[in-house]
Amino acid sequence: MKKLLAQIAKFGIVGVIAFFVEFAIYTDLNAVFKATGFAAAFQYYYLISNFCGFIISMIVNYLLSMKFVFVRKDDMSRKKEFIIFFVLSFFGLLINEFCLFVGVDLIYGHWAWLQSWMSKGFAETFFKLGATGVVMVYNFISRKIFLEKKD
C-alpha cells in the first residue's frame, strides 16, 4: 500500500507538470483565437486549443511518467510502449474533449442562469479543470494496467 501511495504521489507531481503545460497552451491558444476573431467564426475553437495542449502535454507526461512513475516492462520496446501510451492517451483525449464539450456547450451554453454569473472564459476554465480530473483517474488506472511491470 505504501508503494502504491508513493507511486500515486509521483504520478500527481508529473500530472501537475503536464497539466501546467497543457493548460498554458489551452489558455494561450484560446486568447489567440479570440484576439484574431477565429473564436467568433468557429464556436468550437476551445476544442482545438484543448487538442493542441493535450498532445504536447502527453509527450511531456510520457517522458516523465516512464522515467519517474512506472516501472517499465522488460519485454516491451520503447516504441511499443509509446504506441500503447499514445493509444491510451488518445482515449483520454476523447474523454477530455467530451467532458469539455458537455460542460461548455451543453451545460453552460444552454443554462441562462449559469451564464448570468459565469463568463464563458471562466466556464471554459472551470470545465477544463473538471475534464482534467476525470482523465487523470483514467490515465493512472489504464497506464498501471497496460504499461507497468507486474511485481
Residue 151, pLDDT > 80, answer no
Given this model, what pLDDT does residue 90 score? 93
Q: What are 88-137's pLDDT values in tens digits? A: 999 999 999 999 999 999 999 999 999 999 999 999 999 999 999 999 99
Q: Which of 128, 61, 140 is nearest to 97 (CA)?
A: 128
Residues 63, 9: Cα–Cα separation, whole Å: 17
pTM reported for the whole predicted model: 0.82
pLDDT recorded at residue 49: 96
pLDDT tens per residue, range 25-71: 999 999 999 999 999 999 999 999 999 999 999 999 999 999 999 88
| CA–CA gap between residue 22 and residue 49 (Å, rounded) | 9
3-state secondary structure of 77: coil
The whole-number pLDDT of residue 74 equals: 84
CA 31 – CA 25 distance, rounded (Å): 10
Helix, strand, or coil (residue 113): helix
For residues 40 and 89, give the distance between their C-alpha atoms in angstroms, rounded to a whole number: 30
Cα–Cα distance for residue pair 81/63, rounded to 1 Å: 11
Q: What is the pLDDT of residue 71?
A: 84
Q: How far apart are CA 151 and CA 144, in angstroms?
A: 12
pLDDT digits (tens, 9 = 90+) for 4-28: 899 999 999 999 999 999 999 999 9
